[in-house]
């Protein structure tokens, strides 16, 4: 349980940290220019303010505005018009411009060059702004601008870590209590409603606790019934044995003539005892003794299933596809019960406007008996558990106790085959009994 705790906790924390870190790195790497242009205070709305001043007050006021910005933020600005010529002198020294022209591609420049285009909403003219920010100024701004995001990120990581811790504990602690209940159940020390507090949760763990309590109650009921059966069997066996012992004692002390009269009584008590033991063994072997395999009349079996389905759900329609020459050896009663369970499941979820398809075909040395409906199907998360005794996928609120598919799977295993469950590619759910042509009885 401790290993599960750390795996869940580490997964949450690492996922959060990786997402946050990658978001920052990708934002810096892919949108760095846009990030600086949108967040640097010296460039905040500079293009709009400059264009407004230039168009309303003239070039001199616009030049003065750029010089004020440079004095405050140390940012050099040039503005190029649609003709490709500077509209004002700007704040970038000519010698620096010549230096950039000579060495811009050959060596690292001491400033960061950014460009942005702006279209005036009033005149419709386009302007190209060229900004040059010294690297020391940009580094100082980076340190100041990253302080609050990093602080917020640190606080978010602390909060999310605590949230991950609480979430992990909310999962692992109930599982630990469930593990203890399973241990107690295995040691026959289980107390009913031992998970009553956990069962009050309104989530999957609460439902699991409720199911576990019901399972424990049922197991204890089965154990109690078994003990009661053993007591009843012991009592029933004791009576004929006692009568038999008394008859033997009387026969030992009786004369020859009287002894002959006691033999019928002894035989009668032996017959009663043998009959009782045979009935008990037949009850114990009811699920195991199938007898010899025999040919299965598939056409008659499918016809009977179709008749039963018409009585149970007359609004449903069946389409039966029986491959010519398909034959099978097995136990007809067991196979009919398995197909009946699969058909009942299909009738429960199939819409009335679509047919239920039953297909029987041969595939190599195996015979496939498939039942397909056009219902909603089953989530892939629950397909693996379908067929387990008493398991029902979420949302299946109809009749049944989760034993239909378990019985079908057991029938397939007794034939040496398997039950295949899957969602149909074109919609719906399909359950297929894959059986060998000659059965191989398995325990």
Position 398 pLDDT exceeds 80: no
Position 45 pLDDT exceeds 60: yes
* Separation of alpha carbons 100 and 109, rounded Å: 7
pLDDT digits (tens, 9 = 90+) for 179-228: 777 777 766 656 666 677 777 777 777 777 878 777 777 777 667 656 65
* CB contact at 8 A, 418 and 434: yes
* pLDDT reported for residue 282: 39
* Separation of alpha carbons 405 and 407, rounded Å: 5
SS3 428: coil
* pLDDT reported for residue 380: 80
State residue 157 phi and psi, 5-degree precision: -65, -40
* CB contact at 8 A, 431 and 345: yes
* Separation of alpha carbons 357 and 372, rounded Å: 5
CA of 286: how far to CAs of 198, 279, 289, 361, 411, in Å?
A: 39, 10, 6, 31, 14
Position 78 pLDDT exceeds 70: yes
Position 131 pLDDT exceeds 50: yes
* pLDDT reported for residue 443: 43
SS3 391: coil
* Separation of alpha carbons 66 and 55, rounded Å: 15
* pLDDT reported for residue 186: 65
Q: Which domains does the chain have, with CATH numbers?
A: 2-143 (no CATH), 204-284 (1.10.287.130), 294-436 (3.30.565.10)
Per-residue confidence band for 245, with pLDDT thresholds at 50, 70 and 90: confident
pTM score above 0.85: no
* 146/255: higher pLDDT: 255
* pLDDT reported for residue 369: 93
Q: Which residue reads 């297929």 in tokens?
A: 432
In 317-392, alpha helices (H): 332-349, 380-383
Position 145 pLDDT exceeds 80: no
* CB contact at 8 A, 79 and 127: yes
Lowest mean pLDDT among 261-265, 383-387, 398-402: 398-402
Position 278 pLDDT exceeds 80: no
What contacts 24+ positions apart, CB below 8 Å, involve 187-193?
188/223, 190/216, 190/219, 190/220, 192/216, 192/217, 192/220
Position 407 pLDDT exceeds 70: yes
Lowest mean pLDDT among 152-166, 301-315, 356-370: 152-166
* Separation of alpha carbons 410 and 335, rounded Å: 10
Among 80-84, 176-180, 251-255, 379-383, top mean pLDDT goes to 80-84
Position 115 pLDDT exceeds 90: no
Position 401 pLDDT exceeds 50: no
Stated length of the chain = 443
pLDDT digits (tens, 9 = 90+) for 284-338: 443 555 677 888 899 999 999 999 888 888 888 899 999 888 888 888 888 888 8
Per-chain mean pLDDT for the chain: 77
Position 344 pLDDT exceeds 80: yes
* pLDDT reported for residue 247: 74
pLDDT digits (tens, 9 = 90+) for 2-21: 555 676 677 777 777 776 77
* pLDDT reported for residue 211: 80
């Amino acid at each position: 349980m401790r290993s599960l705790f750390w795996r869940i906790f580490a997964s949450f924390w690492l996922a959060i940290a990786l997402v946050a870190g990658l978001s920052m790195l990708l934002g810096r790497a892919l949108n760095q220019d846009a990030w600086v242009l949108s967040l640097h205070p010296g460039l905040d709305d500079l293009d709009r303010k400059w264009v407004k001043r230039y168009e309303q007050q003239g070039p001199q006021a616009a030049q003065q505005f750029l010089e004020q910005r440079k004095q405050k933020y140390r940012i050099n600005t040039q503005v190029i018009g649609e003709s490709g010529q500077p509209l004002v002198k700007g704040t970038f020294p000519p010698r620096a411009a010549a230096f950039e022209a000579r060495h811009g591609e050959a060596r690292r420049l001491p400033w960061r060059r950014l460009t942005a285009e702006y279209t005036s909403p009033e005149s419709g003219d386009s302007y190209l702004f060229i900004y040059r920010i010294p690297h020391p100024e940009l580094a100082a701004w980076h340190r100041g601008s990253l302080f609050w995001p990093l602080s917020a990120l640190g606080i978010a990581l602390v909060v999310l870590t605590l949230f991950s811790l609480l979430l992990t504990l909310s999962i692992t602690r109930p599982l630990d209590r469930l593990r203890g209940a399973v241990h107690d159940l295995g040691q026959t020390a289980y107390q009913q409603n031992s998970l009553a507090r956990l069962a009050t949760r309104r989530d999957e763990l609460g439902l699991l606790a409720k199911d576990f309590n019901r399972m424990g109650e049922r197991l204890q009921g089965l154990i109690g019934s078994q003990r009661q059966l053993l007591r009843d069997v012991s009592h029933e066996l004791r009576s004929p044995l006692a009568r038999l012992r008394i008859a033997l004692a009387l026969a030992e002390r009786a004369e020859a003539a009287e002894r002959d009269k006691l033999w019928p009584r002894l035989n009668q008590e032996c017959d009663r005892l043998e009959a009782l033991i045979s009935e008990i063994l037949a009850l114990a072997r009811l699920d195991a003794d199938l007898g010899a395999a025999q040919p299965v009349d598939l056409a008659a079996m499918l016809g009977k299933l179709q008749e039963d389905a018409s009585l149970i759900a007359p609004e449903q329609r069946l389409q039966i596809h029986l491959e010519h020459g398909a034959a099978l050896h097995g136990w007809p009663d067991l196979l009919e019960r398995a197909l009946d369970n699969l058909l009942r499941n299909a009738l429960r979820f199939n819409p009335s406007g679509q047919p239920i398809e039953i297909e029987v075909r041969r595939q190599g040395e195996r015979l496939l008996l498939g039942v397909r409906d056009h219902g909603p199907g089953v989530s892939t998360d629950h397909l693996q558990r379908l067929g387990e005794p008493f398991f029902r996928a979420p949302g299946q609120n109809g009749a049944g106790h989760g034993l239909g598919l378990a019985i079908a799977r057991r029938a397939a295993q007794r034939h040496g085959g398997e039950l295949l469950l899957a969602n149909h590619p074109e919609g719906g759910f399909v359950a297929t009994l894959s059986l060998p042509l000659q059965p191989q009885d398995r325990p």
